[in-house]
């Protein structure tokens, strides 16, 4: 069992306050963040959260760190990155405001975040704004822990992989939020590319996959990940390798093999191969979990397939004959 794996037996020991900031992550994921902070991290290297939102996940992690005897609040730092504002393209919700909605004249929830995280401000370093601007491309300092709840587009994932995954070393821990999101296949195939150098902690915790780096990650592997330098077939093969390692999540609710299969359809979809995407997706419509939770995904993939001009068998035959 990995060192992280032992945390799975400790969920019941976690008591989080009832008045946590609004959060988009589940109770189990908050508990796991607490456990990592409380029992695993040291603060020796950077502790980073990408996508803090209204601070629910930050709170759980910070509380764990504060109660961790190995973590020195005077020296250790928790770095929180987010836009800390709502608006087009931010993926932030008005629920991140303490009032539950945006005031008329201000789209920033940074002050609300600060107020809620007040007990932890002495060791919290806040980076407000677009990650491409707030992260330093020249910073190569090692990262001990990375909570990734920000990579909702391929472009943001590029920033995450270029500027943060490159700083992981043996012993570093990564938590991928939204691993159950079929529309974010870069999380899945990048994990596939990393498999020889990491150890998956155990079943995903709801939507979160946790892993520990066990071997130095070669620079060319990191370069391919940040440049998204894989063919569609390579991406699908990498995802199959991850499917071989993950099944149901810890709570039994999410069937990851099916989720990743639907994510494969999105690899083809993003590549403009709508026929291929739909041929993967249509076989999954009978899956109980996917049909219940991802009806909109099927609709999107089918719509793109239907909108594609179809080449008739006759035209194809004519083309073939013409070629001879």
Ligand X SMILES: C[S@@+](CC[C@H](N)C(=O)[O-])C[C@H]1O[C@@H](n2cnc3c(N)ncnc32)[C@H](O)[C@@H]1O
Q: Which residues bind ligand X (CB under 6 A)?
A: 23-25, 51-54, 56-57, 81-83, 90-92, 130-131, 149-150, 152, 156
- Kindly report the backbone phi and psi dihedral angles of residue 101, in degrees, each rounded to the nearest multiple of 5, phi listed first: -155, 165
Compare residues 156 and 280 and give the one whose CB is closer to ligand X: 156
- Report, in Å, the least distance between residue 188 CB and ligand X: 17
Compare residues 175 and 277 and give the one whose CB is closer to ligand X: 175
- Report, in Å, the least distance between residue 132 CB and ligand X: 6
Q: Where on the phi/psi map is residue 89: left (φ > 0), alpha (ψ -120 to 50), or beta?
A: left
- Report, in Å, the least distance between residue 153 CB and ligand X: 7
> Which residues are within 8 A (CB) of 158 and not within 5 positions of it... i.e. 6 or more apart?
226, 227, 228
- Report, in Å, the least distance between residue 128 CB and ligand X: 8
Kindly state the helix (H) or strand (E) to which residue 199 belongs, with its residue range: strand 198-200
Burial zone of 53 (CB within 10 Å; 0-12 exposed, 13-18 middle, 19+ buried):
buried
Compare residues 59 and 211 and give the one whose CB is closer to ligand X: 59
Compare residues 110 and 241 and give the one whose CB is closer to ligand X: 110
Separation in Å, CA 157 to CA 71, 144, 164, 270 = 29, 19, 10, 15
- Report, in Å, the least distance between residue 91 CB and ligand X: 4
> Which residues are within 8 A (CB) of 289 and not within 5 positions of it... i.e. 6 or more apart?
253, 254, 255, 258, 259
Q: What does DSSP assign to residue 282?
A: G
Q: Look at residue 71 and give its three-state secondary structure.
A: coil
Compare residues 153 and 279 and give the one whose CB is closer to ligand X: 153
Compare residues 80 and 200 and give the one whose CB is closer to ligand X: 80
Give the residue closest to ligand X by C-beta. Answer: 53
Using CA atoms, how far apart are residues 222 and 195, in angstroms rounded to an integer?
12
- Report, in Å, the least distance between residue 77 CB and ligand X: 18
- Report, in Å, the least distance between residue 17 CB and ligand X: 15
Compare residues 25 and 268 and give the one whose CB is closer to ligand X: 25
């Amino acid at each position: 069992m990995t060192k992280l794996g032992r945390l799975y037996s400790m969920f019941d020991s976690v008591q989080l306050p009832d008045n946590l900031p609004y959060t988009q992550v589940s109770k189990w994921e908050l508990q796991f963040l607490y456990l990592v902070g409380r029992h695993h991290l040291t603060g020796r290297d950077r502790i980073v959260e990408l996508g803090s939102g209204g601070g629910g996940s930050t709170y759980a992690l910070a509380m764990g760190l504060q109660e961790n005897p190995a973590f020195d609040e005077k020296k250790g730092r928790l770095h929180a990155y987010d836009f800390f504002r709502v608006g087009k393209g931010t993926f932030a919700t008005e629920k991140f405001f303490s009032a539950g909605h945006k005031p008329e004249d201000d789209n920033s929830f940074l002050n609300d975040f600060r107020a809620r995280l007040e007990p932890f401000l002495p060791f919290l370093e806040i980076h407000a704004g677009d990650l491409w601007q707030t992260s330093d491309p020249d910073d190569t300092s090692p990262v001990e822990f990375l909570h990734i709840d920000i990579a909702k587009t391929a472009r943001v994932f590029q920033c995450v992989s270029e500027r943060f995954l490159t700083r992981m070393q043996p012993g570093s821990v990564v938590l991928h939020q939204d691993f159950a999101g079929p529309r974010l296949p870069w999380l899945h195939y990048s994990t596939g590319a990393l498999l020889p150098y990491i150890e998956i902690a155990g079943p995903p915790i709801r939507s979160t996959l946790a892993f520990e780096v066990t071997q130095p990650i070669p620079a060319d592997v990191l370069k391919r990940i940040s440049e998204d330098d894989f063919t569609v077939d390579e991406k699908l093969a990498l995802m199959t390798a991850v499917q071989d390692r993950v099944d149901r999540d810890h709570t039994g609710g999410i069937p990851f093999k099916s989720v990743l299969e639907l994510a494969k359809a999105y690899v083809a979809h993003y590549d403009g191969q709508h026929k291929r995407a739909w041929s993967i997706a249509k076989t999954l419509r009978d899956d109980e979990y996917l049909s219940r939770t991802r009806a909109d995904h099927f609709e999107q993939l089918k719509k793109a397939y239907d909108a594609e001009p179809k080449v008739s068998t006759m035209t194809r035959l004519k083309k073939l004959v013409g070629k001879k």
